[in-house]
Amino acid sequence: MTRGKLDFLMLASSDDTLLEEVMLSGTIPDTDKLTGWEFKGYNSMDLTDVLGFRKFKKGFYSDGDAVHGYNVKIKQSGLIDPWVDVLKKGASIKLGWYDVSPVRAEERDSLYPNALLLNYNAERNPRMDPSRFLRDYLVQVHPDNPDLLLGKAYLAVGPKRIFVSYFVLERENESTL
């Protein structure tokens, strides 16, 4: 694998075999380098095009010692087009809130010990919000580049974890929180 040459566009158009190799060999992102930023994101699953969330942003913020995050709704367009926030009353639409923590071997969500866990079963999401079932793993693609990340999303259904999609993230702008 030519890891030194991987960038956002290459990862966004890669197959699952390569993306899984990167997930397994990636490193744990430093939460201090995530907080205060939004990252443009792109889902690998084609169905997300039809569902209207292939393109998105993930933002990260700290609340004391805890790190949390959110998704930003983006106008859907081509992969090389700019990421443009959907606005409501002049502000970006934030949804799909999550708590961020290192993966812990003793817990159920421990598939990638080299990753951060984004757990959407967060208090900030409405009680009946289906996003509460999401669990994302997040790795840094290159050890010396905190701006390029790869994630893998799962649905938590009882004790089972069902793979949904890979997603690629690249630092885009400062967080609006």
DSSP letters spanning 58-103: EEEEEETTEEEEEEEEB----TTS---B-EETTEE-EEEEEEEEE-
Query: Could you tell me the CATH number of the domain that includes residue 94?
Result: 2.40.128
- Check pLDDT > 50 for residue 72: yes
**177 occurs within a structural domain:** no
**55 occurs within a structural domain:** yes
**99 occurs within a structural domain:** yes
Structural domain harbouring 94: 3-172
Read off φ and ψ for residue 15, nearest 5 degrees: -85, 170
**90 occurs within a structural domain:** yes
pLDDT at 169: 98
How many independent structural domains does the chain possess? Answer: 1
Q: Which three-class secondary structure state does DSSP give residue 175?
A: coil
The whole-angstrom separation of Cα 111 and Cα 60 is: 22
Q: Could you list the beta-strand ranges (E) of the chain.
A: 37-43, 55-63, 66-73, 87-88, 91-92, 94-102, 116-119, 134-142, 145-157, 160-174
Task: Report the helix count and the strand count for the chain, using DSSP H and E.
Answer: 4, 10
pLDDT at 176: 84
Closest-CA residue to 74 (of 92, 86, 90, 87): 86
Q: Tokens at residue 154, please? A: 């799962």
Task: Tell me the CA distances in angstroms from 125 to 7, 18, 71, 119, 161, one per residue in order.
Answer: 32, 33, 11, 11, 20
**139 occurs within a structural domain:** yes
- Check pLDDT > 80 for residue 70: yes
Average pLDDT value for residue range 117-129: 96
Residue 82 burial class via C-beta count within 10 angstroms: exposed 0-12, middle 13-18, buried 19 and up:
exposed
pLDDT at 50: 61
**62 occurs within a structural domain:** yes
- Express each pLDDT in 124-155 by its tens digit: 999 999 999 999 999 999 999 999 999 999 99
**135 occurs within a structural domain:** yes
pLDDT band for position 53 (cuts 50, 70, 90):
confident
pLDDT at 177: 86
